[in-house]
Amino acid sequence: MAAYDLEEQEQLAEIKAWWKQYGNLVTGLVTAAALGVIAWQGWNWYQGQQAAQASGVYAVLQKAVLDKDLQRIKTSSGELLAKYGSSTYAPLGALTAAKALFDAGDPKTAKVQLGWVADNAKDELRELGRLRLAAVLLDEKAYDEALRILDAKPAPGFAARFAELRGDVLAAQGKRDEARAAYRAALSALEANDLAAAGSKSRSTLQDKEANAPYREMLQQRLDALGGAQ
């Protein structure tokens, strides 16, 4: 029993020595891990709260659009961008507000909304923002500015639309050869999408290919109108 007690005391002494050397480090690591978990949970809660609040503001914006309440459209969309700019509702709200404001004869504010989307949104929403902003600039005959926006390389799924709109701007400038090249680029991009769809066996991609037929015909008509169909 005495031998056992001696062995036990030696082990206890080793543990105390180890703890004296590494105790602060272990305590710090455990504390940091605990704080990390708390912070992560807090961030998730905050994100959930932000999303819920942004959703409420977006609902107000949608109601304002239906009511054609321009002041409330500006106020609610501004609140989305200022307070919830990192949420998905911000670019959605800006696109919604931009269309309503443009239709109401306020292209200046619509451009501000679309500019925010083009600069801050991600993926498809960013590309939509760029396209719509370029279309507004084309309507205002701000051709060089529209082309500058369209110079940005789009996601593959938007390549045809960007090239088409570029062709529209160039045609409006009277640059027929460059416009023809842009429309051909749009057709090529559309063909690439169709080939990708053909390589996939999914029903949705094949349906997309069929849905592209009227768009392809429209592009060809624009090209024909410039006297450059080949």
Please report where in the chains the tokens 């799924």 appear, as a residue. 157
Same-domain status, 133 and 204: no
Q: Report in angstroms the alpha-carbon separations of 71 from 57, 62, 188.
A: 14, 13, 43
Q: Is residue 122 part of a domain?
A: yes
Q: Which residue has the higher pLDDT, 119 or 209?
A: 119
Q: Assign 34 a pLDDT band (cuts: 50, 70, 90).
A: low
Overall number of domains in the chain? 2
pLDDT at 16 over 80: no
pLDDT (0 to 100) of residue 12: 64
pTM higher than 0.75: no
Question: Whole domain around residue 121: which residue ranges?
Answer: 24-141
Q: Is 198 exposed, middle or buried (0-12, 13-18, 19+ CB in 10 A)?
A: exposed
Q: Which residue has the higher pLDDT, 167 or 52?
A: 167
Lowest mean pLDDT among 18-27, 158-167, 212-221: 18-27
State what percent of residues in the chain have pLDDT above 90. Answer: 52
Query: Whole-angstrom Cα distance, residue 130 to residue 112?
Result: 12
Q: Is residue 146 part of a domain?
A: no
CB contact at 8 A, 95 and 128 = yes
Among residues 141, 171, 203, which one ends one of the domains?
141
Same-domain status, 174 and 227: yes
Q: Is residue 15 part of a domain?
A: no
Q: Assign 1 a pLDDT band (cuts: 50, 70, 90).
A: very low
Q: Assign 152 a pLDDT band (cuts: 50, 70, 90).
A: confident
Task: For 167-197, write each residue's pLDDT tens digit.
Answer: 999 999 999 999 999 999 999 998 887 776 6
State what percent of residues in the chain have pLDDT above 70. Answer: 70
Same-domain status, 49 and 137: yes
Same-domain status, 135 and 165: no
204-215: average pLDDT: 65
pLDDT (0 to 100) of residue 113: 95
Among residues 117, 141, 165, which one ends one of the domains?
141
Same-domain status, 134 and 157: no
pLDDT at 51 over 80: no
Q: Assign 93 a pLDDT band (cuts: 50, 70, 90).
A: very high
Same-domain status, 47 and 134: yes
Same-domain status, 43 and 131: yes
From the list 165, 162, 148, the residue with the least C-alpha distance to 193 is: 162
Among residues 110, 141, 172, which one ends one of the domains?
141
pLDDT at 206 over 60: no
Q: Is residue 8 part of a domain?
A: no
Same-domain status, 47 and 128: yes
188-216: average pLDDT: 68
